[in-house]
Amino acid sequence: MSLFIRLWIIGTTIALAACGIATATYIFVTEQQHLALARHEAASIGRLLSHAMSVDLSEQRSGADQLALLRGRALQFMSSGRLLSLTIVDAEAGEPVVQEVLPGLEAEEAWQKLGSSPFDKIVELPANNLHQVDNTFYVLSPVMDRTGAVRFILAFGLPSQTLTISDDNLPLFISLATALSLILGLITAAVLTGQVGRPIRLLTTAADRLESGHFDTAALTPLIGRRDEIGRLARTVLRLVQALDHLGAQMDRASQRNSDQKEERDDR
């Protein structure tokens, strides 16, 4: 396997790891945004339902008539199938007077799921409140009489699945991130090959020529000026080549002297 392919695999692996981290971050941030949007939508739906339930309620004279009107409207809303549960609590009695749930979802009823504490807070501080339990949003809204006192508390159970927003951009994001990772891996391999692969090839060429008996340092010239480990290695190899060249020259001179001395002895 060539050095370029190995560097490409390393660069691509690093880029894919970064892609995985970016994708996980994107999913987490997107889910948080969707949750915030779902909570806002649930609160908006709760306010609209509360207004629709309590419209013209103050014109009713008796509490029994008010309760009958709320019960009738509760049945109408529940029949639409958009709600998991609808609970009406009498603020004075402190107990539910209407508890409507979809069949089989009795455990999702607000009074059983939340307890009385959130309803007591609505009486003390009349305002819409939003609670999330598992996959259900509960919107609690006060219904006040003409004096401004809380008469009833409406609790709507909304399934979070109908409020969440699908992210159609996620597959596109993952595809682009993967393609970008492959491109970054290719660029990384090309850069590393230029920074590491080419110097290694020059050092290999110099070593091969040295092995064949050619003390040529021209291949090391581009590397001598580098101030990194490759530059130090090139200078070390250069000094080795120079030392071997000097030693070879000394051996040649010694051999020549021995040859000359032998010829002189033969002439005598």
Task: Tell me what the mean pLDDT of segment 59-74 comes to.
Answer: 73
- The count of C-alpha atoms lying within 13 angstroms of the C-alpha of 83, restricted to the half-sphere facing its C-beta, is 26
- Region label for 267, one of left (φ > 0), alpha (ψ between -120 and 50) or beta (otherwise): alpha
Sign of CA dihedral 37, 43, 49, 55: negative
Q: What is the pLDDT of residues 232-247, one digit of tens each?
A: 877 887 787 777 777 7
Percent of the chain with pLDDT over 70: 78
Does the pLDDT value for residue 211 go beyond 70?
no
Instruction: Report which residue type is found at 66.
Output: Q
> Is the pLDDT reported for residue 1 higher than 60?
no
At residue 48, the pLDDT reads 80
pLDDT for residue 207: 72
Q: Which residues are CB-neighbours of 79 under 8 A, at least 6 positions away? A: none
- The residue among 230, 239, 231 whose CA lies nearest residue 210 is 239
Sign of CA pseudo-dihedral 176, 182, 186, 192: positive
Which of 62-66, 165-169, 237-241 ranks highest by mean pLDDT?
A: 237-241
Under the phi-then-psi rule, with left for phi > 0, alpha for psi from -120 to 50, and beta for the rest, what region is 214? Answer: beta
